[in-house]
Amino acid sequence: MKDTLKHQGLRNKLVKTIKDKGIKSAAVLQAIGRVPRHLFMDSGFLDHAYVDKAFPIAADQTISQPYTVAFQTELLNVKKGDVILEIGTGSGYQTAILLELGAKVYTIERQQELFRKTSLFLPKIGYRPKKLIFGDGYQGYEEGAPYSGIIVTAGAPMVPNALLSQLAVGGRLVIPVGDDIQIMTLIIRKSETEFEKHEYGEFRFVPLLEDKN
């Protein structure tokens, strides 16, 4: 598990690419520049780690495209110490980005294989989420609520009510909504009862699934 100058060089290029695509947050770009994405992919795929593309990981899932990770993280507007809930741990790459930003991270994964693999892997390279949860993200995670931010990294057919209710007032939910194609959606909780919705462009994610296997 090495991170070399060559990897760092490729990462700097990736940072430039996503900056050119419109990511402005210096903190987010810096986090992308720090997390060794190649370690989150099986070793045969090193060459693919620093191109701005999604890539298959275990259990028919994907590690999100770096631009998408940066876009969602920018919308989340993470500040140091924020408590964040992530739905869809997957490879743990997005989790690592959130940890780089100083967030306390709860993250939920429904695929047992990925949950096990990523639970072992993240601490091995120095990333320690507050809690990795094996479960159904549609339910959120009440024990850690309220959250300053919730990020969903799979395509949701609709916005789950549990996630809205676990958001702190002032908190932000970033969720791609739709079946085949998703609209990136930001929901800000303005008060106990009011939510404000903003929509961004189209993205493509693997689906947020309802049943556990």
Where do contacts with ligand SAH occur on this chain (CB under 6 A)?
Answer: 61-64, 87-88, 90-91, 93-94, 108-111, 114, 136-138, 153-154, 206, 208-209
User: For 63, how many CA atoms within 13 A lie in the half-sphere containing its CB?
Assistant: 26
Of 59 and 183, CB closest to ligand SAH:
59
The span from the CA of 83 to the CA of 122, in Å, is: 18
Minimum separation from the CB atom of position 193 to ligand SAH (A): 26
How far CA 90 is from CA of 21, 54, 180, 189, 190, in Å, comes to 24, 12, 20, 27, 30
Of 60 and 194, CB closest to ligand SAH:
60
Of 31 and 154, CB closest to ligand SAH:
154
Q: Which of the following is catalytic: 64, 91, 119, 165?
A: 64
Do the beta carbons of residue 204 and residue 153 sit within 8 Å? Answer: no
Minimum separation from the CB atom of position 107 to ligand SAH (A): 8
Is 91 in the active site? Answer: no
Minimum separation from the CB atom of position 106 to ligand SAH (A): 12
Do the beta carbons of residue 83 and residue 148 sit within 8 Å? Answer: yes
Structure tokens at 130: 């507050």
Residues acting as catalytic residues: 64
